[in-house]
Amino acid sequence: MDIITTLAKELQIKPEQAGAAVKLIDEGNTIPFIARYRKEVTGALNDEILRDLHERLEYLRNLEEKKQQVISSIEDQGKMTEELKTQIEAAKTLVVVDDLYRPYRPKRRTRAAIAKEKGLEPLANIITLQMTKKSLEEEARAFVDPEKGVDTVESALAGASDIIAEAVSDEADYRIRIREMTVRNGMIASRARDPQAESVYEMYYEFSERIAKIVGHRILALNRGEAEKILTVRIEAPEEDIIRYLEKQIIIKKNPVTTPVLQAVIRDSYQRLIAPSIEREIRNSLTEKAEDGAIRVFGKNLEQLLMQPPIVNRVVLGWDPAFRTGCKIAVVDTTGKVLDTTVIYPTAPQNKTEESKAVIKKLIEKYHVTLISLGNGTASRESEMIIVELLKELHKPVQYVIVNEAGASVYSASKLATEEFPEFDVGQRSAASMARRLQDPLAELVKIDPKSIGVGQYQHDMNQKKLNEALSGVVEDCVNKVGVDLNTASTSLLEYISGISKTVARNIVAYREANGRFESRAQLLKVAKLGPKAYEQCAGFTRITDGKNPLDATAVHPESYEATGRLLEKLGYTPQDITAGRMKGISGKIHDYKKMSEELDIGEITLRDIVKELEKPARDPREDMPKPILRSDVLEMKDLTAGMILKGTVRNVTDFGVFVDIGVHQDGLVHISQICDRFIRHPLEAVSVGDIADVMVMSVDLAKKRIQLTMKGIN
């Protein structure tokens, strides 16, 4: 089966869709560009399917390359057979190719290799053939040769046994079957190195579970416990079943002379050579699968976080809480520009509460602040109490939101933050970031390494290259879904736009600073290192408000401007009607999309996309996402009682449940069994990060700071 057919089958798409997508990827087109502007070619494959296709395409191409290397190596040795070649070409995974290549791979000097050098291969063949009537001691005596290092009959038999054991171990069919038996019926078990030691891994101190059933987050927990030298982890295979299977394959004749030796050899081959290797493979495979699952969850959580709706047209006061060093304050205007910064000391040890409140009141009055963005770190609880007191003393409505400050310290100490705010210290930068995270979460969060945003599990234990690629893909998809304003976007935002590299992003900002605002998308072609191909990839994702061409403010690609102009003419509109918002309901004026697309010489899917864009130009997809909860009062953990129903924000989704912020500075856990009445395999089937949810308190443990919540049974 060729790669295109395999991709189509695996992803459940048509072969022509897979072929078109592969061709576009090979031509250097980015996933966001293909997903948005080549729907006609791919049959409207979305970015998620395209990313899966791209990942599998790389794997399958690596597999084909490996097969060719293996075939070439075996042919060079003069050992290739038609049957073996067919098996290699039919292999579906790299593991199977390795199994088939094992007997032909150049080996280091194994016990079997040394025995062969001593001339013991014929003795091994006598035992394997199971035809001899003589005693094996008698057969072995002919191979005793002190000059070759074979001093005794026993050493001759031991060497022959090593040769047979390695031959058994190298048999690809045996390994494939043993791997299947181990995965199907084996267990993964862990024990504590010190059963008396207290740790977070106590549930794994006496643990075992079927390999076929174990879930990803347990694998990652076992791996971490093992790495921290708290647990020992092993695979418990159905050893006796495997030995019986091997005996059945190898001991064809019940020869009383050879059978006992072959039985001992089979056990040795399995225990010494096969089992450790299979255990490593299974552990690696389980880890890879668990990591892929965790990366998928992390990606979904990150997408939800990045796609949180911006709170627009509000002057925001960012509050980065602390004790000894004081709370850093930054006021930003509606565009995110920092207007003022200061430091107040309302918390211990200074406790200058009244003085601090007076400073905040002045800032609220001076800059017409309507929203306070409070970070959820150290001293957040104490700061919230003061904010609530303060709000009650004001004569105008001001609300506050608690924002997740994960990654703020990483950003505020970064080179990027130093370039953005050279005159600020890390605290002031962090406070400005708190405020901007509300105004435009996407624009602010792209400045931070996605791993530092804190919406995953075990992210530091994973394959970092794979994690970084996956998360960068998520950020890229989000930025391109929303689009960027070419005249205000930061370098951090621009570098995620389709076709734009870090260097080109810097060049765009440099061009803007040197020449003033962009008046048209076509000006991008004047930016250093931004050629026609990059322009094709990026143009549709950039926006220019109040530019020369109203279409530059929409997601309509410049390649479709001419067709869009003809469409407007046919429907009796001008380009100015787009920005004036006079095009609502134009979809109703097109009675036959197929006919219209033929008249305009564009695809029907493209036409529908253009019409949708003209009706709602530059519509922000984040508008559909749940808005953050704006608060004006405070609740403490001790105020919670079982049965209390609260509104909360989903902060993190894991394999075993979701963590919900209910405004008491300690996120509550909704276990997967308490999310909904129907059966779900994963919490993501029902909830996402950023969702606003009604939850009921089940139990509160003040000492351990644990809150158990449920989403079931709430009308």
What single string gives the DSSP state of each residue in 667-711? PEEEEGGGT-SS--SSGGGT--TT-EEEEEEEEEETTTTEEEEE-
Q: Which of 81-90, 215-224, 576-585, 627-636 has the lowest mean pLDDT?
A: 627-636
CB atoms within 10 A of CB 78: 6
Maximum pairwise Cα distance, the chain: 108
Q: Quick one: how many helices (H) and strands (E) in the chain?
A: 30, 15
Q: Is the pLDDT higher at 9 or at 625?
A: 9
pLDDT above 90 for 513: yes
- Whole-number Cα distances in Å, 331 to 49, 232, 320, 436: 42, 53, 12, 10
Dist. CA 480–CA 36, nearest whole Å:
9
Over residues 470-475, the mean pLDDT reads 92
Dist. CA 165–CA 162, nearest whole Å:
5
Dist. CA 415–CA 428, nearest whole Å:
15
pLDDT of the residue at 108: 83
**Cα 179 from chain centroid?**
28
Bridge partners, residue 256, by sequence:
none
Q: Rounded to 5 degrees, what are φ and ψ at 116? A: -65, -40
Task: List, in order, residues 6 or more apart from 424 with CB less than 8 Å away.
Answer: 338, 341, 432
pLDDT of the residue at 405: 85
Dist. CA 702–CA 633, nearest whole Å:
21
pLDDT above 80 for 626: no
pLDDT of the residue at 609: 95
Dist. CA 55–CA 34, nearest whole Å:
15
Cβ-based burial of 402 (10 A; exposed 0-12, middle 13-18, buried ≥19): buried
CB atoms within 10 A of CB 109: 8
pLDDT above 80 for 74: yes
Over residues 207-224, the mean pLDDT reads 95
pLDDT of the residue at 590: 92
- DSSP, residue by residue, 212-238: TT--HHHHHHHHHHHHTTSEEEEEE--
Task: Give the closest residue to 186 by CA, choosing from 204, 211, 218.
Answer: 211
pLDDT of the residue at 715: 60
Bridge partners, residue 332, by sequence:
316, 338
pLDDT above 90 for 646: no
Q: Is the pLDDT higher at 350 or at 452?
A: 350
**Confidence label for 634 from pLDDT (cuts 50, 70 and 90):** low
- Whole-number Cα distances in Å, 115 to 47, 140, 277: 57, 13, 22
Q: What is the β-pairing status of strands 399-403 and 484-485?
A: unpaired
**Confidence label for 196 from pLDDT (cuts 50, 70 and 90):** very high
Q: Which of 18-27, 500-509, 686-695 has the lowest mean pLDDT?
A: 686-695
**Confidence label for 435 from pLDDT (cuts 50, 70 and 90):** very high
Six-digit token string for 477:
């998809």
Determine the straight-line distance between the first and last CA of the chain, rounded to whole angstroms.
Answer: 53
Dist. CA 399–CA 628, nearest whole Å:
12
Q: Is the pLDDT higher at 573 or at 404?
A: 573
Over residues 3-11, the mean pLDDT reads 96
Q: What is the β-pairing status of strands 657-661 and 645-654?
A: antiparallel
Task: Give the closest residue to 404 by CA, choosing from 424, 364, 377.
Answer: 377
pLDDT tens readout for residues 589-623: 899 999 999 999 999 999 999 999 999 887 888 88
Dist. CA 645–CA 647, nearest whole Å:
7
Six-digit token string for 24:
């576009």
pLDDT above 80 for 549: yes
Q: Which amino acid is at 282?
A: I
Q: Is the pLDDT higher at 464 or at 157?
A: 157
**HSE of 221 in the Cβ direction (CA atoms, 13 Å)?**
19
Over residues 377-396, the mean pLDDT reads 90
Q: Using CA atoms in the order 439, 445, 447, 448, what is the torsion angle rounded to 10 degrees?
A: 150
Task: Give the closest residue to 455 by CA, choosing from 276, 623, 659.
Answer: 659
Per DSSP, which regions of 509-549 are E strands? 542-543
- Whole-number Cα distances in Å, 367 to 6, 362, 364, 423, 429: 61, 9, 6, 21, 19
pLDDT above 80 for 312: yes
Six-digit token string for 307:
């796609």
Dist. CA 614–CA 312, nearest whole Å:
23
Bridge partners, residue 648, by sequence:
693
**HSE of 119 in the Cβ direction (CA atoms, 13 Å)?**
12
pLDDT above 80 for 461: no
**Confidence label for 636 from pLDDT (cuts 50, 70 and 90):** confident
- Whole-number Cα distances in Å, 32 to 305, 340, 421: 19, 38, 32
Residue that is written with structure tokens 């949708």 in the block:
612
pLDDT above 90 for 1: no
Helix-, strand-, coil-residue percentages of the chain, each rounded to 5: 55, 10, 35
Residue that is written with structure tokens 């449940």 in the block:
657
Q: Whats the size of the chain, residue-wise? A: 715
Express as a percent the part of the chain with pLDDT over 70. 99
pLDDT of the residue at 647: 85
Residue that is written with structure tokens 């980065």 in the block:
320
Q: Rounded to 5 degrees, what are φ and ψ at 699? A: -155, 155
Helix H or strand E segment including 648: strand 645-654
